[in-house]
Structure 1
Amino acid sequence: MVHATTTVGHLAAWQSRAGSLPPVLADALSVCAQNGVNERECGDVLDLLAMLGCDAQTQAAGLWFEIARIHPLVWEQRASSLPEELQRLVAGQTAAERVWALHAQRPPEGGSEGLRRLLLAIIRDVRVVFVLLARQLARMRAASSLPEAERQELARLTRDIHAPLANRLGIWQLKWELEDLAFRYLQPDTYRRIAALLDERRGDREEFIREALAELGEAVRMADINADLAGRPKHIYSIWKKMQRKALEFSDLYDIRAVRVLVDSVGDCYAALGIVHALWPHLPGEFDDYVARPKSNGYRSLHTAVIGPHGKTLEVQIRTHEMHRANELGVAAHWRYKEGGSGDADFEAKIAWMRKLLEPRNDDGELAAELQTELLEDRVYVLTPRGEVVDMPHGATVLDFAYHVHTEVGHRCRGAKVNGRIVPMTFQPHSGDRVEILTTKIAEPRRDWLSPHHGYLHTSRARDKVRAWFRRSAHEANLAAGRTMLERELKRLALPDVDIAKLPPLFHLQTQDELLIGLALGEISGGQVARVLQESQQPAETLPSVPVAPVRPTVFDHSAITIEGVGNLLTVLAHCCQPLPGDPVRGFITRTRGISVHRANCASLARLARRDPDRVIDVSWGRASAQAYEVTIQLNGYDRKGLQKDVVGVISNANVGIIASSSRLFARTAEVEMHYTLRVRDFEQLSTLLDRLSALPNVVEARRVGAG
């Protein structure tokens, strides 16, 4: 087994250079010296982070976490005076401890894929991963002194979490050693047997490698290729995995004897490959071109196997010096060798790739051929009460989680606990939250779960399950529910005179029953009904758009209203009934303000018409796209602290302007009645707003004020 680096093993060497180190690292070393830490492990961590090319902040974070772990009071006293960036790096390591705790309680047969995903989800700074890998390797190097049970758990954690992460990052030097040390403690007998086999013929093997290097070196020099040649160390864990995967005995492995060729360019790689194949016979089926087709973790190299000197098999790896640095140190290689290279596309691709989800791994631990395209930031990773990791799209609610667990759990869901605290079904958990679903004995989904404005369900999978439930309901029940929903929508939009029979063709449906069932199953929303009602009232021709009207009075460019037989007249929306696009409307010719536009059923217009019938004219809505309209809504409910603040917040978030507001409290019953005069774009925006207001706690009804 070959260590990734030769370490000093103690902090003394680092502390002796404190005067020449960045202040943030020198300060951390000073605190370590004052408070007593494990000098060998901390020295190991610093050496490994230096090898990875990590900055002083990252190195200091490795020390400060050790201080925080051993002396929490010291950390609490000093944390606030440290840079915020350094505090975040330490916090990332603290967050990772939650994953280690989950791993410890996971059943032995449970998978660790979810834990690896959760780890990358809760760590927001990629440098934390390097600290975690360095700390774990330092602990594994010193694990022989630990009690057996603790050593076994440490080795399992390394095998399940840290070694796969190092592999995913392409940090091969750390990966090999983490795997070998974990294998050594988890399967000591097998480890010792393979180690003994490697040692048994070490002298013969080393002599063979020297002879092969001499032959290959001479051939490369004759071809005028600048190359560095060396024997390649074999790692015990990888030997055992290959024996298991291919059902081979140790003596049958062709790549126990291996050499590596480093050249200056990609062209030299293929030239060197030709020399190797000309020098020794090539073994069919044992060639891999990871230069033209890199592995999904970015690994690039040419691999071939030949029959070398004395008829013995030999593996040859060929790559450029740059490929070798990237392969050995992975993402860290770019930080070390590409400093200041903000335009380095490879570096940016590596970081983007690291942020992607870890794909499922097959039995031999190799990476899947292609990366998943779903970014980590688009998923949240939550825990079941048993500690199992469930991933869902960003924005998913606890009700989505219930349906993800099981359809029946979703149907019976009536609430949830997140980290022990009761939350509503619309609550959106974050990565690392533990979610427990509260259920009733009776499966009884609600139709308002299907409304996107209520915020119960985010995933289409969960909505489909709710729709399937209601599809099984009696046909008449769905018709009745749809009719109730449509009538409620028309009532709250103050549209009592709509001919429902004319609506189905506007949705490309044949019958009224299809429309009602679509509403009942959530396939048609109230907002869609509002939009279709509005569009059905507008003429087919397209007129020029006009700017948003001033606040008061609501005066419009004539293109917002089409006046029968007359053009270029000033129009104003009547404040008595506040018509919106989609309302049936009529006009009244005033003496000073042009045409006053009323809803067709407006009581004030009826009085004016009885007095001056000749001044009533036909008008209809135009196609002005940027117009704003004044409307008054009424909310009824029960008073509570913060109710008005919540109402104003919903209105503001809907990008609706408030012109005026008033409220009235009935102290005896604690009922409250609120009126808001708003500026809205159209029926659809109003419908969506009323939906969201109706969903607020203590709000019983939200509707548009009817005709005056």
Structure 2
Amino acid sequence: MLTIETVLDKVLAYNATANFDIIKKAYIFSREAHCSQRRIEGSPYIRHPLAVADTLADMKLDSATIAAGLLHDTVEDTGISANDIKALFGQEIAFLVDAVTKLSKVEFKTKEEAQAENFRKMLLAMSKDVRVILIKFADRLHNMRTLEHLAPEKQRRIAQETLDIYAPLANRLGIGWLRIEFEDLSFRVLMPDLYAELVEKVAKRREENEAYINEIIQLFYDRFGKAGIPAKIKGRVKHYYSIYQKMIRQKVPFEQVHDVIGIRIITDTLAHCYDILGIIHSLWPLVPGRFKDFISLPKSNMYQSLHTTVMGPSGERVEFQIRTKEMDAIAEEGIAAHWRYKEKDRTDKKNEQQVKWLRDLVKEISDAKEFLEAVKGEVVPDTVYVFTPGGDIKELPLDSTPVDFAYSIHSAVGDKCVGAKVNGRMVPLRYKLASGDVVEIVTSPNQTPSKDWLKFVVTQRAKSKIRQWTRAEERAKGIELGTRLLEDELRRHGLPISATLKSEKMEEVVKAYTLQSLEDLFVQIGYGKISAHQIVNRFMPERGHEEAQQAARPAKPARESKSSVITITGIDNVLYRLGKCCMPVPGDKVIGFITRGKGVTIHRADCRNVERMAEPNSRHIDVDWMEDAEGTSTTRIYIEALDKPGMLANLSAFISSENVNISSVKANSTHDKRAFIELALEVKNRSQLLSIMNKIRQMDGVLAVRR
């Protein structure tokens, strides 16, 4: 059974000067704090923090980290306060415990903005002190090892979190052994049948594989001995999740998966690494495209090694990894290796570089969901290495483009990017970069980001910056349109524009819609979420009687007013109104209906209500538009489009460019990402209206336009 003495012996083995007293004190405090608690399976709770401390000791971490590991659940579970920890153990340990406590509350339900924001705060704490995530790694590892005691649904949720977030993050921080265990433990829970099948098949081939590995190892010991090269050689069958991924990528069953055997050779010097590579290639042919020099071009997680795959004995593919002892420590322990023996001096330039990518993300991306996606994007291991004209190396995800490269330099370079030269020749912005490319970005002060770039960029940094710019641009258009619609509506009802917008009543209206500012209200009106008519109604309490008042008002007498646009055959000075159901405009074929007490109502000849108008107490008459009609008429058009950002703003910008006023907007969307937009337009005549409708039909994302 694991005891505190076991942990202390591990610490003593790698650091005789550690603060053993603080570790013992933390253990006793944690044991007392958790004395009444039990784990789900019934064991004393202290076994969990002890297991966490044991893993941290395996990582050879400092005393403060191990003490914090012992204390990490005390604040959350026992009523102990952060101030209590600070008073008893000091600021450093208190900070680590507090950060891990907050981290323990995070469940990675990425659809929930609050959870994404918690994750962002957690990684912000990690960017300040990476030991926070190392403690959480140890905590998650013990929980994964004892996952069988939880309900199946909770097991799957935790396993999926581990596979999606913790395993890639461990890889990004260079802790290879931890990534492997996270992946295999998650795989066992998420796909138990496939996992069991793989375990059985690997076990059946174990004896055969071990014999094959031992044959290769013995061959190399003989060769290296003759060449005077000191080396330690280890052989292994790749872990289960890695084999499963190969099956998926290659679309083959286990029996047809190649290079499941890996040989690791650890030597003393850099020169001997390349000597060993030469010996391997002299024995067996290289598999094309499978040599990678991560010594000359280290991975972003500081990983260094030579990788090569050859057709080994009996035609079997074998992967070799060649590295020095120091490189092997970094490959296995990653950033944790930089915390060895650092009881006092914790400044480390390599350690700083390890979390710089994360610190940059925290600074640059404020949107919580985008940040979480950015972190996921950053931890993807497949990369290309490209160069600036000055010779600096940039590490980018596979399939990155010049736009991704530009944003990796600076957001201002990305925003102004108009072209790129790769290896001295111009290439399209969607060109996929390859390792070794020299990339030069061409910029223009007049350039702005394009939404089309989102179709081909792959880095989350580029995506986030482009989205930020397009959101700001769409918001500006929304404010402009919303302001114009509201001002027009206020003007139409004779309300003072400036005084109304600055009034306390308007502040109340903004709050009533749970908005933060008048600008937000303009945006909502511009996007069609709120109508200007709704807002103006709040300033006119008597509007409840509007329909009755309108009915009592006299209709327009034909040919009396300069605004009259209808002529009625054989009759002068007849009251008329334009039908609200079809909203005719000059140039439409129209028909008039005389209804007792209401005068003449003008409808389009193709109006669906015309047949219903032929009532016993109404009759139709011939009407036509005046040839010299001036002014504008209001009509409605209905647009079906793809529900995507900026659609409404683009429509309003186009209509405005045609010198046509929008008097009202209504919009809604469906679950299948379609938008239905109703626009009330003030047009001169049918010809102008049809021209606008035809141009709208040509717009990207528009599916249909009708009246």
Counterpart contact for 1:9–1:39, Cα < 8 Å: no
Counterpart of 1:51 in structure 2 is 58
Structure-1 residue corresponding to 2:32: 34
CA contact (8 A) 1:140 1:181 kept: yes
Partner of 1:268 in structure 2? 272
Equivalent residue, structure 2, for 1:349: 353
Match of 1:90 among 92, 97, 113: 97
In structure 2, the CA distance between the partners of 1:279 and 1:339, relative to structure 1 (3 Å rule), is farther
Query: 2 CA distance for matches of 1:166 and 1:404?
Result: 38
1:324 maps onto 2:328 in alignment: yes
Deviating more after overlay: 236-245 vs 346-355: 346-355
Residue 215 of structure 2 is matched in structure 1 by 211
**AA partner of residue 144 (structure 1):** E
Q: Is the 8 A contact 2:236 2:263 kept in 1?
A: yes
Counterpart position of 1:694: none
**What code does the residue aligned with 2:96 have?**
L
SS in 2 for 1:291: coil
Letter in 1 for 2:61: C
Q: Is the 8 A contact 1:152 1:185 kept in 2?
A: yes
Shift in Å at residue 28 of structure 1?
A: 1.6
Q: Which residue of 2 aligns with 1:230?
A: 234
Judging changes above 3 Å, is the alpha-carbon distance between structure 1 residues 41 and 328 closer, same or farther for their aligned structure 2 residues? same
Q: 1:138 to 1:412 in 2, by over 3 A?
A: farther
Q: Give runs of aligned pairs for residues 536-615 of structure 1, distance below 5 A.
A: none
The residue number in structure 2 matching 1:145 is 149
- Match for 2:298 among 294, 297, 300? 294
Q: What's the secondary structure of 2:319's corresponding residue?
A: strand
Q: Distance in 1 between matches of 2:254 and 2:80?
A: 53
Q: Distance in 2 between matches of 1:405 and 1:114?
A: 23
In 2, are the aligned partners of 1:48 and 1:134 still within 8 Å (CA)?
A: yes
Q: Aligned with 2:530: secondary structure?
A: coil
Q: Aligned-pair distance for 1:265? A: 1.8
Alignment partner of 2:106: what SS? helix
Tell me the amino acid that sits aligned with residue 29 of structure 2: V
After superposition, give the CA deviation of every residue in 1:577-606 in whole Å (9 maximum; x if it has no partner). Answer: xxxxxxxxxxxxxxxxxxxxxxxxxxxxxx
Unaligned 5+ residue runs, structure 1? 1-7, 379-389, 428-437, 445-461, 479-708
Q: Distance in 1 between matches of 2:235 and 2:300?
A: 26
Distance in structure 2 (CA, Å) of the matches to 1:474 and 1:309:
73
Task: Give the drift of 1:266.
Answer: 1.8
The answer on whether the counterparts of 2:103 and 2:119 sit within 8 Å (CA) in structure 1 is no
TM-aligned CA deviation for residue 242 of structure 1: 1.4
Match of 1:282 in 2: 286
1:60-118: CA deviations, max 9, x gaps?
22222211222124666555544222222222223324532645x65xxx9x9998656
Equivalent AA in structure 1 for residue 170 of structure 2 = A
Query: In the alignment, is the contact (CA less than 8 A) between 1:163 and 1:175 conserved in 2?
Result: yes
CA shift digits 1:229-273 (9 cap, x unpaired): 111352111110111112233223332222110112221111100
SS of equivalent to 1:232: strand
Residues 412/337 of structure 1: CA separation in 2 closer, same or farther (3 Å cut): farther
**What amino acid sits opposite 1:27 in the alignment?**
K
Amino acid at match of 1:51: D
Contact 1:9–1:41 (8 Å) recurs in 2? no
Matched, 1:120 2:127: no
How large is the Cα RMSD of the aligned pairs?
Answer: 5.0
Q: Secondary structure at the match of 1:259?
A: strand
**AA aligned opposite 1:441:** I
- Counterpart of 2:312 in structure 1 is 308
Match runs of 1:164-203 below 5 Å: 164-203=168-207
What amino acid sits opposite 1:93 in the alignment? V
Contact 1:359 1:367 in 2 (8 A): no
Distance 1:377 1:83 in 2: 41
Residue 466 of structure 1: CA displacement?
9.5
- Residue 366 (structure 1) aligned with residue 390 (structure 2): no
Give the one of 530, 537, 547 matched to 1:441.
Answer: 530
Offset, 1:288 = 1.8
Q: Is the 8 A contact 1:10 1:42 kept in 2?
A: no
Amino acid corresponding to residue 66 of structure 1 in structure 2: D
Alpha-carbon spacing, 1:97–1:393, altered in 2? closer, same or farther (3 Å): farther
Q: 8 Å contact 1:228–1:263 — kept in the other structure?
A: yes
CA separation in 1, counterparts of 2:88 and 2:515?
Answer: 36
Q: Work out the number of aligned pairs and report it.
A: 427
1:13 corresponds to: 6
Whether the aligned pair in 2 keeps the contact of 1:68 and 1:74 (CA below 8 Å) is yes
Judge conservation of contact 1:116–1:161 (CA < 8 Å) in 2: no
Find the aligned partners of 1:356 and 1:363 in 2 and give their Cα distance: 11
- Contact 1:359 1:368 (8 Å CA) reproduced: no
> What are the Cα deviations for residues 376-424 of structure 1, in whole angstroms up to 9, with x where unaligned?
999xxxxxxxxxxx999999xx9998878997599769999xxx99784
| TM-score, normalised by the number of residues in structure 2 | 0.51
Quote the Cα distance in structure 1 between the aligned partners of 2:377 and 2:516.
39
TM-superposed CA distance for 1:198, in Å, is 0.7
Question: What does 1:619-638 align with in structure 2 at a 5 Å threshold?
Answer: none
For the pair 1:133 / 2:126, whether they are aligned, the reply is no
In 1, the alpha carbon distance for the partners of 2:477 and 2:99 equals 35
1:476 offset after TM fit, Å? Answer: 11
Paired AA for residue 153 in structure 2: A
Measured after TM superposition, the shift of residue 440 of structure 1 is 6.7
Q: 1:56: how far off?
A: 2.0
Residue aligning to 1:683: none
Q: Map of 1:657-672 to 2, 5 A cutoff?
A: none
Distance (whole Å) between structure 2 residues aligned to residue 425 and residue 393 of structure 1: 28
**Matched residues in 2 for 1:477 and 1:235: separation?**
66
For the structure 1 residues 249 and 70, does the alpha-carbon distance in structure 2 shift closer, same or farther, using more than 3 Å as the test?
Answer: same
Report the equivalent of 2:705. Answer: none
Find the residue that maps to 1:284 and give its secondary structure.
coil
* Separation (CA, whole Å) in 2 of partners of 1:61 and 1:350: 22
Could you tell me whether the CA contact under 8 Å between 2:49 and 2:71 is conserved in 1?
Answer: no
> What is the alpha-carbon distance in structure 1 between the residues aligned to residue 96 and residue 507 of structure 2?
35
1:119-162 CA-partner distances (Å, limit 9, x unpaired):
42354422111111111011001112222122111111111221
CA contact (8 A) 2:62 2:340 kept: no
Structure 2 residue runs without a partner (length 5+):
36-43, 362-372, 385-394, 397-403, 413-459, 484-505, 520-526, 534-644, 662-707
In structure 2, the residue matched to 1:598 is none
SS at the partner of 1:54? coil
CA distance in 1, matches of 2:131, 2:409: 18
Q: From the superposition, tell whether residues 32 and 339 of structure 1 become closer, same or farther in structure 2 (CA, over 3 Å).
A: closer
> How far did residue 209 of structure 1 move?
0.7
Tell me, yes or no, if structure 1 residue 72 matches structure 2 residue 68: no
If the length of structure 1 is used for normalisation, what is the TM-score?
0.51
Contact 1:163 1:179 in 2 (8 A): yes
Cα distance in 2 for residues equivalent to 1:421 and 1:65: 43
Q: Is the 8 A contact 2:62 2:343 kept in 1?
A: no
Q: How do 1:507-518 and structure 2 match up within 5 A?
A: none
Residue aligned with 1:99, SS: coil
Residue 475 of structure 1 deviates from its aligned partner by 11
CA distance in 2, matches of 1:74, 1:195: 46
How many angstroms does 1:185 deviate by? Answer: 0.2
Contact kept? 1:11, 1:43, Cα under 8 Å: yes
